[in-house]
Structure 1
């Protein structure tokens, strides 16, 4: 007689495909479908839905659910869904409403993954309130890095509730010389130029201004480098105006939203992140898996991905001069570049693959069942 599958419902409120959505897609790709019956609950018209369905998993579209953590009108339909379907685990990603609904519906266990850094809370009463909410509506809280765990503790969460489980990715093969040339050429990188890229939402927290200042400094020393700003966001017009004022038009390329971003990340010569705070940084991980060295700000979980002097360099947040110096150092030293390239790929393979992430998550699911 076949063993009954454990029924897992993942709930995301995102309408776009952000970090949580990419995490979910990576997990689903390696989910043990012989042991787990996984369904995904999303807001209506979420861009994530077709990608989930393409992997063969059922999607429940919730018209009442908005793209925010607490959504009062979604509480009743989510509660009714869980009461009807009786999942063994509800695993939420930012949705407090889904956690409340799961508890109200009597779901045996509630998991919650924190995909971003949490602001420190100085108010003792607010910290106590957050701890009480987490105890009431979560049985296990997953932090995607040690830095996220520390930030959650600073915000009031009970350390005993938190488990660190690193995000995982698929290792990306390095493109051939011809493939790389074609990919970069399609984004306007002149033949023979090196490509330095930052793949991040064009929002304040990612601090593209520091990247552009560093690009300005490096551009004065090297004419063979093109800087790629990969992605889109609310600051695009402002950043494009800054590039024009700096005289960097033609040296800095804004790609906009890139559908198959991994191909471009793997084609870079150097990956950069300048975030003021970062949970872990999938874009660096994906580039590094293809053997691309990196330079990143020492913010949050970046230092858990980027090992200073081994697979890239860490710089202080907002330090454009040091960023430019480190970029120049890597690009100008072939032996150093090759060493960092090998180390970047090996480090990703050792601890950050999606297959390992999925196995570790499912072990957590099973451990709870045994208790």
Structure 2
């Protein structure tokens, strides 16, 4: 039986969960299940990046029209979609989608899978969203966490019906080289050692500690420079901090980048100074490009980065220990190369998209069997 799955992800940008969904569909999901992907559409009616990418992939994208932040009419619309499309499983990503599926489950009596990807913490609103999400997932039939560490932060009720399915990385998705010479475009000297930081510019990503660490690193490795890929609320503050740290001309802010391949190839080393992480896609991407990683020991990072083999881990928020690790790496090109190669092997062997697809399909089938048995018992 091909599971028919109602997939709810309330987002306008593709983002990490959206990329994971796209990867699932492209890596066998289309052949093994029938996804119905929901797009939350505002009054403006403009198609979001998420919806556009999903449509182009060939997914069946259906619209939920909303007139306000959370429109209760969404539940009626979703119920009509589930019945019209013959959906058998509900799937949600993020607090808003969890609310929708929690209400929908009571009406349509279908199994519900709630995915937990991790949380940001830039303000009180996001903290409240996290608390809401942690409460809502206890109502789901099954909970999927992207790392063991993240799963341990969930309430006990959620942990008892949880399965861990890590993110995966597909080399084909990252093979987007346009042949650009990123170093030349940014004006980076040929002899420079480039440390890249990839991700949203917001407090939980810890870029401010990287800037402080880079300033210390350059005292011992003067040709070390940094590239910060991404955009966000902290950009202006970080640009000011870079100047204050004496990094003018030694750190480069690229803004939002859609194709990362040429940028990863321009790096010698990838730093992840995060204060919190769920399952670090950036670490997996870096490893696919055979780049060693220096990362904070938080969340699911230790489940990806092997200390002393594919990279080094440091205490989150400690710029001094981060600088020590960066220097240790940059002063030994042979170590960086060996760790990068080991990281690529690990990513290919342990974080394959096809393995992730198999685990998700097994979960779907388990839910359908349980639903059938329950129906027969009540008949």
TM range (shorter): 0.7 to 0.9
Distance 1:253 1:47, change over 3 A: same
| 1:114 to partner: Cα distance | 0.2
Q: Could you say which residue in structure 2 is the equivalent of 1:271?
A: 270
Q: Which shifted more, 48-57 or 26-35?
A: 26-35
Q: Could you say which residue in structure 2 is the equivalent of 1:34?
A: 31
Q: Could you say which residue in structure 1 is the equivalent of 2:98?
A: 96
1:228, 1:193 → 2: CA distance? 12
| 1:242 to partner: Cα distance | 1.1
Poorly superposed stretches of 4+, deviation over 4 Å? 128-133, 172-175
Distance 1:173 1:22, change over 3 A: closer
1:318 equivalent to 2:317? Answer yes
| 1:174 to partner: Cα distance | 9.6
Q: Could you say which residue in structure 2 is the equivalent of 1:85?
A: 85
- Could you tell me which runs of 5 or more consecutive residues in structure 1 were left unpaired when the two chains were aligned: 120-127
Distance 1:57 1:323, change over 3 A: same
Distance 1:187 1:366, change over 3 A: farther
| 1:342 to partner: Cα distance | 1.7
| Aligned-partner SS, 1:33 | helix
| 1:193 to partner: Cα distance | 1.7
Distance 1:56 1:130, change over 3 A: closer
2:215, 2:132 → 1: CA distance? 47
2:20, 2:173 → 1: CA distance? 19
User: Is residue 294–residue 311 contact of structure 2 (8 Å, CA) maintained in 1?
Assistant: yes
Q: Could you say which residue in structure 1 is the equivalent of 2:19?
A: 22
Kindly report which structure 2 residues correspond to 1:280-291, keeping only aligned pairs within 5 A, or say none: 280-291=279-290
Count residues with an aligned counterpart.
354
1:86, 1:216 → 2: CA distance? 58
1:71, 1:63 → 2: CA distance? 9
User: Is residue 6–residue 90 contact of structure 2 (8 Å, CA) maintained in 1?
Assistant: yes
User: Is residue 79–residue 104 contact of structure 1 (8 Å, CA) maintained in 2?
Assistant: no
Measured on the aligned residues, the alpha-carbon RMSD in Å equals: 2.7
Distance 1:322 1:188, change over 3 A: same
- Could you tell me which runs of 5 or more consecutive residues in structure 2 were left unpaired when the two chains were aligned: 42-46, 122-130, 371-379
| 1:358 to partner: Cα distance | 1.4
| 1:172 to partner: Cα distance | 6.1
TM-score (norm 2): 0.86
Q: Could you say which residue in structure 1 is the equivalent of 2:48?
A: 46
1:275, 1:87 → 2: CA distance? 38
Distance 1:232 1:174, change over 3 A: closer
Kindly report which structure 2 residues correspond to 1:221-260, keeping only aligned pairs within 5 A, or say none: 221-260=220-259
| Aligned-partner SS, 1:90 | strand
User: Is residue 5–residue 36 contact of structure 2 (8 Å, CA) maintained in 1?
Assistant: yes
Q: Could you say which residue in structure 1 is the equivalent of 2:338?
A: 339
2:344, 2:334 → 1: CA distance? 16
Distance 1:61 1:178, change over 3 A: closer
User: Is residue 86–residue 107 contact of structure 1 (8 Å, CA) maintained in 2?
Assistant: no
2:8, 2:84 → 1: CA distance? 16
1:146, 1:26 → 2: CA distance? 21
Distance 1:193 1:178, change over 3 A: farther
User: Is residue 178–residue 262 contact of structure 2 (8 Å, CA) maintained in 1?
Assistant: no
Q: Could you say which residue in structure 1 is the equivalent of 2:6?
A: 9
1:327-349 CA distance string (max 9 Å, x none) = 11112113322221121011111
1:15-65 CA distance string (max 9 Å, x none) = 122221111111111134333111211222321111111211121122218
Q: Could you say which residue in structure 2 is the equivalent of 1:219?
A: 218
Q: Could you say which residue in structure 2 is the equivalent of 1:296?
A: 295
| Aligned-partner SS, 1:198 | strand
